[in-house]
Amino acid sequence: MANVCETTITVVGLNDAAEIFVKALSKAMFGVDLDNLNPKQWGEDENVDGKGWYDKLVDEYRQQRSSARYCILYPHEPYNRLGVTAPRFYVETKWGPPVKEIREASTSFPELTFHLGWWVEQDGPSGELVIRNGHDVEEMCRPASWYLFDDTILYPTISLLPAHLPYTLAQRATLRVQDAIQTIEGLDRILRDRRFIDSPYSNERDPAALDQTKRTLSNLLEQMKNSAERLTFEGVLLGIEPFRDRDTSSPAEMEGKSILNIDEL
């Protein structure tokens, strides 16, 4: 049985409605017409009417995520932080993320940036990839799995996505504070997880040290959250549309650009 890869696709710069765009993206990625599916391709009775079947699949997915079918794009909860939003879609594939498919599909939408966040059940790896106009802009791959300490301690990450969204410098500084809070929250959750509490090593721990660490983390979180509510970078970190002004070309696009001659200076 193939390992399932769960992928969330965030689309940056999309002006069309997500319900319309998902159909165009499905055709470009998998050659699948969501308005006229072939249910037999997914093991359904050939008498099932393919027209309108996608709406039923979406309803099933919303009720129970485990009902997702391979290579079917589903609407996902949009990305939303500090008032910046972006539509997202969910898809499951076998063995690995649909990198080849999204890379080829992105050439049909050269003005858009695609961010893939993916994880192979259950032992990983996991990673992120940013693609634009057929080229990889940046990538991260971590061997993290579902194990207790993986994401928080062994392979901590900060998402690649915000760097490609139109945040101001002040907003980006606020995001870094939120990242720090989430890191401490992750450590706090470990100490309260049943897998940690019921570990075979429980008897070897120092109970007093454990209690002190829990209190310290809780106090630190409270202080950080209280301070973050009062902290502002508005009027402190200034920049004129840093996201739009910066050259965000992929390595392949950079190779095609001419190098400035010193005589031109």
Any idea what the CATH number is for the domain that residue 26 is in?
A: 3.30.70.1270
Pairing relationship of beta strands 135-142 and 84-94 according to DSSP bridges: unpaired
Q: What per-residue confidence (pLDDT) applies to 259? A: 42
Residues 141 and 22 in one domain: yes
DSSP 197-219: HT-TTGGGS-HHHHHHHHHHHHH
136 and 103 within one domain: yes
Per-residue confidence (pLDDT) for residue 249, from 0 to 100: 60
- pTM of the entire predicted model: 0.86
Per the CB < 8 A criterion, the answer to whether 174 and 82 are in contact is yes
Per-residue pLDDT, 146: 86
pLDDT for residue 219: 97
pLDDT score, position 163: 96
62 with 131, same domain?
A: yes
What is the distance between the alpha carbons of residues 106 and 21, in angstroms, rounded to a whole number? 12
User: How many residues does this entry show for the chain?
Assistant: 265
Chain centre distance of CA 245: 24
Answer yes or no: do 9 and 133 share one domain.
Answer: yes
Residues of the chain with pLDDT under 50: 242-245, 258-265
Q: What is the pLDDT of residues 84-109, one digit of tens each?
A: 999 999 999 999 999 999 999 999 99
pLDDT in tens, 110-122: 999 999 999 999 8
Is 161 among the domain residues? no
Q: Tell me, what's the pLDDT at 172?
A: 95
Inter-residue contact 105 to 95 (CB < 8 Å): no
Instruction: Identify the pLDDT of residue 53.
Output: 94
Please enumerate in sequence order all residues whose Cβ is within 8 A of that of 41, keeping only pairs 6 or more positions apart, or say none. Answer: none
In a domain, 250, yes or no: no
Structure tokens belonging to residue 219: 């106090």
Q: Is residue 113 part of a domain?
A: yes
- Give the range of the structural domain holding residue 188, as residue numbers without chain letter: 169-230
Q: Peptide bond before 122: cis, by omega within 30 degrees of 0?
A: yes
pLDDT number for residue 48: 85
Q: Which residues pair with 129 in a beta bridge?
A: 116, 139
Tokens 């696009």 belong to which residue?
253
